[in-house]
Structure 1
Amino acid sequence: MSTLTALIIILAILMTIVGGETGIRSFFSVIINTLLLILVAMLISWGLNIAILTLIFIPLKLVTIIFLGTHDYTVAKNSFYSAFLVCLITSLFILGCQYLAQAAGLGPEAGEILVGLSQMPGLSYPMIAVTVAIFSTLGAIAEAAVAMSSGLLEIKKHNPDISEEDLMGSGTKIGNDVLGTAMNTILFGMFGSFLSLFLWYFRLHYTIGEVLNEKLFVNEALIIMYSLIGVILTVPLSSFMLSRGMSKKRLKYGNKKSNAD
């Protein structure tokens, strides 16, 4: 048994013990998302249109992440709508930034690894970079959307008569905590995965200018910025959509009750 297999089994056991049915569904969500990423890579390598594949797999991945990882349908539905809308907005922003950055493709660090191999496989490196950036932001956006929707729904359940303005205010307070933890998670994840590369830059005496113009660093830094922007957009949008949806539901219920009387 390999180390990876053992860790997967331990993860499945712990998620089952801690989360019960939801934990099992979340575990299968991770497995399905991994398979979806492999499928995307295979389809791109076969020459299918990258932009169309990205548009198809964005909702598929969000459905897998949110609906399989959440036990409450109302939370999942609101989270999906807000996360999907934020992903579309962020995708447009990513397209513009990737065009201006011109950081797609392989850096000089990959030269020795690719000696003897063609670096022109007939695929669009800029579109691949856009797809990677979009998929990298999905997890952070979906996590923020679920956290906001779950918190606001619990407030609404415990205080059914809360006004839309008060619910939005509560969403702002919850959003401050969500933003803080999400940003730290994204930043520390980037520094943890890039620590060896930072050490390499330091040992090879890279200047600040060389680091800031290095493709690997620029791509990772851009992905972090996209994720942070996506989370920032998700917080107010989730609060607005859930508070508006709850107010409309209460108004509709009140009209039905009045007609019945």
Structure 2
Amino acid sequence: MSSLTALVILLAVLMAIIGGETGIRSFFSVLINGILLILVALLISWGVNVELVILIFIPLKLVTIIFLGTHDYTVAKNSFYSAFIVCLLTSVLVLMMQHFAQAAGLGPEAGEVLVGLSQMPGLNYGMIAVAVAIFSTLGAIAEAAVAMSSGLLELKKAKPDISEKQLRASGDAIGYDVLGTAMNTVLFGMFGSFLSLFLWYYRLGYSIGQVLNEKLFVNEALIIMYSLIGVLMTVPLSTFLLSKGLTKSEVKHEDKHTDTH
């Protein structure tokens, strides 16, 4: 048994023990998302239109992340709507910034063989960079949407008579904590995965200008900015959608109650 297999089994056991049914669903969510990412890479390598792949797999991945990892349908539905809207807005931003950055392809650190792939006909590395950036932001956006929706829904259950204005104010307070943890997660994830490259830059005496114009660094830095901007948009949007949705459901419930009398 390999170390990877052992860790996967350990993860599955711990998620089942700690999370119960929701933990098991979350494990399958991770598994399915891994398969979807492999499928995305295969489709792009087979020459399928990258834009079409992005449009199809954004909702698929969000459904897998949110609905399989959340036990409450109201939370899942609100999180999906807010995350999907933010992903579409972030996609427009990614397209614009990737056009101006011109950082698609592989840098010299990847080696001569891989750098040559950047010029291969049939591979649109510009759109591949867009796809990588969009799919990299999905996790942070979905996490923020679920955290906001779960917190506000639990608050509504604890205080059923809370007004929409108070709910939004509470959403702002929850949002500050969500933003802090989400940003730290994104930043430390980037530095953790990029530490070896930073050592490469330092040992080879790269100047600040060379680092800031290096493709690998620019792409990673842009992905961080996309994720942070996506989280910033997700927090108020999730609060707005959930507060409006709960208000409408209350109105419908009151109308039905009145009709019965």
TM-score when scaled to structure 2?
Answer: 0.97
Partner of 1:212: 212
Residue of structure 2 in register with 1:39 after alignment: 39
Query: How many residues were matched structurally?
Result: 261
What is the Cα deviation at residue 257 of structure 1?
1.6
Partner of 1:4: 4
CA distance in 1, matches of 2:118, 2:236: 46
Task: Describe how 1:97-112 pairs up with structure 2 within 5 A.
Answer: 97-112=97-112
Equivalent pair of 2:40/2:53 in contact (CA under 8 Å): yes
Distance 1:153 1:118, change over 3 A: closer
Unmatched runs of 5 consecutive residues or more in structure 1: none
Q: Does 1:53 align with 2:53?
A: yes
Q: Tell me, in whole angstroms, the C-alpha distance in 2 between the residues paired with 1:164 and 1:197.
A: 48
Using the alignment, how far apart are the partners of 2:125 and 2:10 within structure 1?
Answer: 37
Q: Any idea what SS the aligned residue of 2:80 has?
A: helix
Structure 2 CA distance, aligned partners of 1:130 and 1:119? 17
Would you say 1:81 and 2:81 are equivalent positions? yes
Could you say what secondary structure the match of 2:174 adopts? Answer: helix
Partner of 1:140 in structure 2? 140
Q: Is residue 157 of structure 1 aligned with residue 120 of structure 2?
A: no
Aligned-pair CA distance for 1:121: 4.4
Distance apart, 1:255 and its partner CA: 1.8
Q: Which amino acid in the other structure matches residue 155 of structure 1?
A: L
Residue identity opposite 1:153 in structure 2? L
SS in 2 for 1:194: helix
Q: How much has 1:182 moved relative to structure 2?
A: 0.3
- Partner of residue 226, structure 2: 226
Query: Could you say if the C-alpha distance between residues 142 and 247 of structure 1 is closer, same or farther in structure 2, counting changes exceeding 3 Å?
Result: same
1:56, 1:220 → 2: CA distance?
24
What residue ranges of structure 2 are gaps of 5+ in the alignment? Answer: none
State, as a whole percentage, how many aligned pairs show the same letter. 76
Question: How far 1:259 sits from its partner (Å)?
Answer: 2.5
User: Who is 1:238 aligned against?
Assistant: 238
- CA deviation after TM superposition for structure 1 residue 114, in Å: 3.4
Deviation of 1:117 after TM superposition, in Å, equals 6.6
Q: What amino acid is aligned across from residue 194 of structure 1 in structure 2?
A: F
Asked if structure 1 preserves the Cα contact closer than 8 Å seen for 2:186 and 2:224, the reply is: yes
Aligned partners of 2:54 and 2:131 also within 8 Å: yes
How far apart are residue 118 of structure 1 and its match? 7.8
Task: Give the distance between the partners of 2:55 and 2:114, measured in 1 at CA.
Answer: 31
Q: What letter matches 1:232 in structure 2?
A: L
TM-score (norm 1): 0.97
After superposition, the Cα gap between the structure-2 partners of 1:127 and 1:117, relative to the gap in structure 1 and judged at 3 Å, is closer
Q: Cα–Cα, structure 1 residues 216 and 258, in superposed 2: closer, same or farther, change >3 Å?
A: same
Find the counterpart in structure 1 of residue 166 from structure 2. Answer: 166
AA in 2 matched with 1:184: N
Q: Return the letter of the residue paired with 2:171.
A: G
Query: What SS does the aligned partner of 1:76 have?
Result: helix
Alpha-carbon displacement from aligned partner over 1:130-188 (angstroms, at most 9, x marks no partner): 00000000000000000000000000001111100000000000000000000000000
Name the CA distance, whole Å, in 2 between partners of 1:193 and 1:115.
21
- Corresponding position of 1:251: 251
Partner of 1:114, secondary structure, is: helix
Instruction: Compute the displacement of 1:109 (Å).
Output: 1.1
Is the aligned partner of 1:96 residue 2:96? yes
